[in-house]
Every structure is written in structure tokens, then in C-alpha cells.
Amino acid sequence: MRRVSGMRQNRMLAAGLAVVTAAAVLGDSAVLAGKEARPVTGQEVTVVALVVHPRTHQPVVVLEGRRDRRRVALVIGPAEATGIAVPLHNITPPRPLTHDLLLTVFGRLNVSVRRAIITDLRNDVYYATLVLVANGTEMELDARPSDAIALVLRAKVPLLVEDRVFDKAEKLTPAPAPDEPGQPPSSI
């Protein structure tokens, strides 16, 4: 067995703890550490609206591609909407929310968020990957898109959507425009 220095062992433990913490908070079932990053066939997006759907009263986050202005709308829960609304509106809560705490833990363990990618839409469920860097190694975590969005907004890193997600979403229903005439959505 190879002996590891105390400082190096602490760094390895910290990186491992960060991955485990992220997995627990994000509901990750598969952490892909040390693998080469797969090519992204998408584009960076901006959160253009966080609204309440007028008919279902469910929160909806609307993302718009920077390259082609295509939009995709994701229905999320009320807690997830709060997690996104706080950084979106530059609100500082009196106590840290879960995503704030997670970024604090990452920072103390020298782990950084590099980007998040919404990777797929299957059976009306969106999938995302959160890309972290620890000790110079990129790690990919399976994440709920709402958690990934909340984290990248706080970390001020890119959010991407793969082109196939835009294509699949367009086949379901068109993304609502925040300024759609006739029925203005309620902003969160």
C-alpha cells in the first residue's frame, strides 16, 4: 500500500467529500469523475423569465439560447423556483439556502462549478449534468435542471442546453414568451 502525505490525503478527502455532498444534495446516482468531458452540441442560454403558468399555477423557468434565440420552458416546483429566483433577482437571504450552502462547501474544499448542461428530455423529464473541477480534475454529476440552474446563477458560470433538447421541446409545445399578448404570465 502506498503511503500518502497528510496534506495530500486531506485534499483527496476534501474532493471526495465535495462529490459525496453534491451527490447527496443533487440526488446524484452516477458521478462520473476523471472522464474526458464529452463534446457539447448546444449553446449557452440565459434565464429570461421565471413565471407562473396562468392555467396550472406551476412555476416555469424559461431559457433562451444566445445563438439562435430558441426557447425552452421547464416546469419546476415552488421550492426550486425560490432557489432560482433568489440569485436571479440578486436577493441575499438572511440565512443561506441549500444552493448557497453547497457553493460554500465547494469553496472551502477548493471545488468549483465549471458549467451546467441540460442534456436531454425523455418522457417529459429534463436531465442535466453539473460539471465541477476539483484538484484539476473535471467531474460530471447528474443533476436536476432546476438545481443546476440555481447553482450556475450563483456561481456565475455558463448554462448550456444541448440542441437536441431544444428540438425535442419544440415538438411538445412551444415555450411561452414572457411578454405574450393576451395572457401575461405572472412573474416570480
Predicted local distance difference test score (pLDDT) of residue 180 = 52
Predicted local distance difference test score (pLDDT) of residue 58 = 96
- Please give the grid coordinates belonging to residue 127: 436531465
Distances (CA, A) of 181 to 28, 176, 177, 178, 184: 40, 11, 9, 9, 6
Nearest to 119 by CA among 168, 74, 161: 161
**Distance in angstroms (rounded) separating the CA atoms of residues 102 and 153:** 13
pLDDT in tens, 61-96: 999 999 999 999 999 999 999 999 999 999 999 999
Q: Which residues contact 35 (CB under 8 A, 6 or more apart)?
A: 138, 140
Angle value at C-alpha 28, between 149 and 109, nearest 5 degrees: 75
- Which residues of the chain register pLDDT less than 50? 1-4, 6, 8-34, 181-186
Predicted local distance difference test score (pLDDT) of residue 171 = 86
Q: Which residues contact 99 (CB under 8 A, 6 or more apart)?
A: 83, 87, 147, 150, 151, 154
DSSP state letter for 143: E
Predicted local distance difference test score (pLDDT) of residue 172 = 79
DSSP state letter for 90: T
Angle value at C-alpha 7, between 4 and 8, nearest 5 degrees: 50
Please give the model's pTM, rounded to 2 decimal places. Answer: 0.75
DSSP state letter for 36: P
Predicted local distance difference test score (pLDDT) of residue 133 = 97
C-alpha torsion angle, residues 82, 83, 85, 86 (rounded to 10): 110
Chain-wide mean pLDDT for the chain? 81
